[in-house]
Structure formats: structure tokens, C-alpha cells
């Protein structure tokens, strides 16, 4: 089997392996199976990274096909997703003892990974759209898992917003099909400028609607409201991947449409670019403000995701190589940090059943590993050196301050700084109260509640990664620069 044919493996293997996981009732056997599946998936993706490959699975018409490609962008996102998915899966082994029907959770958890791999390796608009919809459908049971009234409502809201957003994207694909030379993703874009010249305004409106639609999954205003509803009701490992990874599905779609279909020249300097930058800036500020006011930890983290993922969108919509670099670095650093924070929230719920931030006094004494890793992730989201979040925010600010963007770029950078202060305001007091509960705190009530290694090892590994990438970011910068050089 050549490397091109191997492109189907990371897509189909989790879909089939997930069904097997759902049939495993015995805990130990199920955990071993899930671990083996996730490790094999990681190995297969890393093997695909050795070369560029493509595969056409089904040629429906001369212009439409189900096809996959292992280009640099696909490999970047696939590696990130597989590594995070593996660590979240290990964390789930212990956490899901706290929940009903763990076999159903792991079935859809693994199958969702297959949909995400299909999205990453999608070579054209048709494959991307189908993968995007499958990602929504297969991740829906993760939100619905507990079966409570709140979970059902949150799942329906997630489904409704996602389908509406994907519908806007599909409408755009239908429209662009008449103006692009091919539906395949081509670095730099495939829009035929001669055909588009007489319909520029209509095409710009269509592109804007597509960005709003795919921005739904990324939590961009005005289609952001599903995030703070879905995250608190889902099991914490599901909340972690919804926040850290599923939101990046929207980012992948936005990158593919912007840089691989319509092209930079079509958007740069237009009212559409300005509108999208304003929407991203509004989302950054709004998400931070709502997180600052929220008392329920998982909902606070959900609002934080609304804000932090829009840092990525701000960098992308600048249409600048430095902004693109900062955006993709933020993708990695946010995925790591937000998984740490949701893992920490899950560990606290699992061991103490405490869900509100004012209940966490003294937890640093009871759960030192959990709270230390929580502190490191919080510093990264704020953007304090030497942790990784500082590096991505530095590049985003550098791009925003370019004279080409004028007042919008300057306002964007100011909002990023204000958001960083608000992030410090809603995360660092949690850490301070956990380690320094004050003189009035009854220290006699402290008892060790540290979770087992299934929970602590993923937390430690992710915390090490976020510090190491902050101290030595050059390797990641080089990989992202390779992607940037192809499309700019």
C-alpha cells in the first residue's frame, strides 16, 4: 500500500474502531482497546507526515469528488489533533467512572476523531463540507451524554447553530463553484478573476456569509452562543476537546476557503476584511468580559474559548504572513492550555464535586499537581512569558500594528491587551485562592485529593509542552512558516 492509499486509514480506522469500543462493556478491556486505537492513529498520522500525498476516493462528476491530500496544513492540524485526542482519551479512563455509559462515550469519542481526520485531509470543498457535517453529528452525543434536560437543550442548540453555519458554508461552495477554476484546494486560491470581475460585490457578500457560518464552530460572534451552553453540560474530557479541538474545525474551514479558494488578493483591503476583523475584535472583548463575570468554572472556560479562538481569527483575517504565524501558533497553544484547564476542572469535579470558582479555596494544598498545571495554563492564556501564549500574542500584535491596517489594527491590538488583563482577572484569582486561601481558611479540613496517574500524567505532559514551546518555539515557527510560504 502506497502513502496515497494510506490516507484513508486515519479516516476509516477510528470510525470502525469506535463501533468496537462501543461493544466493550468490560472497563479494562475497553480502556486497552481505546488506548491502542489512539496510539495507532497517532502513528499512522506521523507516518503520513513523511511525504505529500493525495487520493481520489470517488469521482462523482468532472468537478466534484471525494478526495484527500496530505499537504503541510493538513499534517499540521492532524498531528495536533491526534496528540491532544490521545491525552484526553487517557484522562477519560478515570473520569468516565464518574459518568454513566462510558462505552457509548468512547464509541463517539473515537469516531469523532475519524471525522476530524477527514476534515484535516480534505482536498476539496465537497470533502470538507461532508467531513464538517460528520464532525458535528458524531460529536453531538458527547454534548448529549448525561441525558439531562439541560444536556438535551444544549445538544439541540449545538446542532442547530452548527447546521445553520455549515449551511451558509455550503451555499457559498455552490456559488464559488461557478467562479473557481476548480473545487480542489489550491495554495493561493483558485478564483477566476476574469469570471469574478463582474460580480465582485455579490462574491464578497457570499464570502462574508461563509466566514460567519464556519466561524460558528470557532465561536465567532454572532453565532457563538452554543459554546457556553454546551461546555458545562458535557463530561469534562468532552468539554476539553470541544473547546480545544472541535472549535479548530471552523478554523480549518476558514483557512481553506480564504487561502485555498478565494485567495488573499480578492479580500485584502476590502470592506469584507474590515468587517471580519471587527467581528473578531468584538468576539475577543465580549468573550473575555462574559468570562470575567461568570462564576461557574466550566462556563467561564467556555466564554474564554469564545475570546481566545477569535485571537486566531483576528490573525487570519489580517491576511499577513506574521498574523498567519501568530494565528497558527495560537491554535496550538490554546488547544494545549484549554485542555489543561478543562482537565483541571474535571479533576476537581471528580474528586470534590465543586463547580463554582468561589469553592476552590485551599485546593492547591489538596490537589497540587492539578492546580500547578492549571496555573501554568492560565499564565499561557494571559500571555505571560516564558510560557507559550506570550509568543503567539507577540506575533499577532506585531501583525496588527502594521501601518497597512490603520485604526482597525491598532484597536485590535489594544483589545488583545485588554483581553489579556481580563483573562488574568478571571483565571489568576482562582490560582491565588487555591494556594493562598487566607487566614480565615480552616486548614484542618485539608486532605489529599490528588487524582490518579490517568488524570495527572496528561496534565503534566501538556504543562511541560506549553512551557517548552514557550522557551523553544523555533521548531514550531519553522513548520508554520513552511505553510505560510506556500500561500503568501
Are 237 and 267 in contact by the 8 Å Cβ rule? The answer is no
Provide the 3-class DSSP secondary structure of residue 68.
strand
Cβ contact 242:234 at 8 Å: yes
Q: Is the dihedral of CA 413, 416, 421, 424 positive or negative?
A: negative
Alpha carbons within 13 angstroms on the beta-carbon side of residue 8 total 10
Residue range 66-93, pLDDT digits in tens = 999 999 999 999 999 999 999 999 999 9
CA-closest candidate to residue 410, choices 402, 419, 418: 402
Give CA–CA dist 72/51, Å, rounded: 9
pLDDT at 259: 96
d(CA 14, CA 195): 41
Distance CA 379, CA 71 (A): 33
DSSP reduced 3-state for 240: helix
Query: Do the beta carbons of residue 154 and residue 230 sit within 8 Å?
Result: yes
**Going by C-beta distance under 8 Å and a sequence separation of 6 or more, which residues neighbour residue 414?**
none
Other Cβ atoms within 10 Å of 475 Cβ, number:
10
CA 180 vs CA 124, 140, 202: distances in Å: 12, 33, 14
- Quote the CA–CA distance of 132 and 115 in Å, as a whole number: 7
Q: Is 6 exposed, middle or buried (0-12, 13-18, 19+ CB in 10 A)?
A: middle
Q: Is 59 exposed, middle or buried (0-12, 13-18, 19+ CB in 10 A)?
A: exposed
List, for residues 236-285, the tens digit of each pLDDT value: 999 999 999 999 999 999 999 999 999 999 999 999 999 999 999 999 99
Q: How far apart are CA 1 and CA 63, in angstroms?
A: 27
The length of the chain, given as a count of residues: 488
Q: Rounded distance, CA 29 to CA 33, Å?
A: 6
The torsion region of residue 371 among left (phi > 0), alpha (psi -120 to 50) and beta comes to alpha
Q: Can you list the residues of the chain whose pLDDT is less than 50? A: none
Query: CA 379, CA 87: separation in Å to the nearest integer?
Result: 21
- Residue 2: the pLDDT is 64
Sign of the torsion formed by the C-alpha atoms of 388, 425, 158 and 25: positive
- Find out whether the peptide bond into 222 is cis, omega within 30 degrees of 0: yes
CA 308 from chain centre, in angstroms, equals 10
Q: Which three cell numbers stand for residue 211?
A: 466566514
Secondary structure of residue 191 in the 3-state scheme: strand
**Which residue reads 473575555 in cell numbers?**
288
Specify whether the CB–CB gap between 154 and 162 falls below 8 A: no
pLDDT value for 178: 87
Does the global pTM surpass 0.85?
yes
Contact 301, 241 (CB under 8 A): no
Grid cell listed for 363: 485546593
Residue 406 Ramachandran class (φ > 0 left, ψ -120 to 50 alpha, else beta): left
Rounded-to-integer distance, Cα 427 and Cα 415, Å: 18
Amino acid at each position: 500500500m502506497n502513502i496515497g492509499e494510506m490516507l484513508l486509514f486515519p479516516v476509516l480506522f477510528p470510525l470502525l474502531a469506535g463501533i468496537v469500543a462501543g461493544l466493550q462493556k468490560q472497563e479494562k478491556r475497553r480502556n486497552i482497546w481505546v488506548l491502542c486505537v489512539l496510539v495507532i492513529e497517532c502513528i499512522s498520522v506521523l507516518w503520513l507526515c513523511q511525504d505529500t500525498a493525495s487520493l481520489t476516493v470517488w469521482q462523482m462528476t468532472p468537478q466534484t469528488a471525494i478526495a484527500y491530500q496530505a499537504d503541510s496544513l493538513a499534517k499540521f492540524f492532524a498531528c495536533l489533533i491526534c496528540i491532544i485526542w490521545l491525552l484526553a482519551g487517557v484522562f477519560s479512563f478515570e473520569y468516565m467512572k464518574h459518568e454513566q455509559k462510558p462505552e457509548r462515550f468512547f464509541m463517539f469519542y473515537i469516531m469523532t476523531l475519524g471525522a476530524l481526520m477527514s476534515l484535516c485531509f480534505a482536498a476539496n470543498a465537497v470533502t470538507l463540507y461532508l467531513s464538517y457535517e460528520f464532525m458535528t453529528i458524531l460529536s453531538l452525543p458527547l454534548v448529549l451524554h448525561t441525558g439531562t434536560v439541560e444536556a438535551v437543550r444544549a445538544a439541540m442548540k449545538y446542532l442547530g447553530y452548527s447546521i445553520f453555519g455549515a449551511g451558509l458554508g455550503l451555499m457559498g461552495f455552490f456559488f464559488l463553484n461557478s467562479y473557481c477554476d476548480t473545487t480542489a484546494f489550491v495554495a493561493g486560491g483558485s478564483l477566476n478573476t476574469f469570471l469574478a470581475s463582474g460580480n465582485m460585490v455579490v462574491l464578497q457578500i457570499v464570502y462574508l456569509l461563509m466566514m460567519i457560518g464556519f466561524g460558528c464552530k470557532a465561536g465567532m460572534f454572532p453565532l457563538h452562543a452554543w459554546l457556553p451552553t454546551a461546555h458545562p453540560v458535557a463530561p469534562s474530557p468532552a468539554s476539553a476537546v470541544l473547546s480545544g479541538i472541535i472549535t479548530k474545525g471552523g478554523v480549518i474551514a476558514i483557512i481553506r476557503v480564504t487561502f485555498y479558494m478565494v485567495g488573499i488578493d480578492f479580500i485584502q483591503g476590502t470592506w469584507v476584511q474590515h468587517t471580519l476583523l471587527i467581528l473578531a475584535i468584538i468576539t475577543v472583548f465580549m468573550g473575555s468580559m462574559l468570562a470575567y463575570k461568570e462564576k461557574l468554572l466550566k462556563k467561564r472556560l467556555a466564554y474564554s474559548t469564545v475570546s481566545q479562538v477569535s485571537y486566531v481569527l483576528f490573525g487570519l483575517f489580517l491576511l499577513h504572513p506574521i498574523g498567519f504565524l501568530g494565528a497558527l501558533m495560537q491554535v496550538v497553544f490554546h488547544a494545549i492550555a484549554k485542555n489543561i484547564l478543562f482537565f483541571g476542572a474535571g479533576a476537581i469535579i471528580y474528586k470534590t464535586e465543586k463547580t463554582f470558582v468561589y469553592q476552590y479555596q485551599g485546593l492547591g494544598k489538596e490537589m497540587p499537581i492539578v492546580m500547578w498545571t492549571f496555573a501554568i495554563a492560565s499564565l499561557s492564556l494571559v500571555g505571560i512569558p516564558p510560557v507559550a501564549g506570550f509568543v503567539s500574542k507577540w506575533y499577532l500584535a506585531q501583525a496588527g500594528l502594521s501601518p497597512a491596517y490603520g485604526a482597525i489594527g491598532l484597536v485590535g491590538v489594544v483589545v488583545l491587551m485588554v483581553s489579556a488583563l481580563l483573562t488574568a482577572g478571571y483565571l489568576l484569582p482562582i490560582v491565588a485562592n487555591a494556594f493562598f486561601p487566607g487566614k480565615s481558611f480552616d486548614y484542618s479540613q485539608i486532605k489529599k485529593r490528588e487524582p490518579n496517574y490517568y488524570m495527572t500524567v496528561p496534565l503534566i505532559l501538556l504543562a511541560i509542552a506549553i512551557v517548552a514551546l514557550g522557551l523553544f518555539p523555533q521548531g514550531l515557527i519553522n513548520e508554520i512558516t513552511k505553510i505560510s510560504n506556500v500561500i503568501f
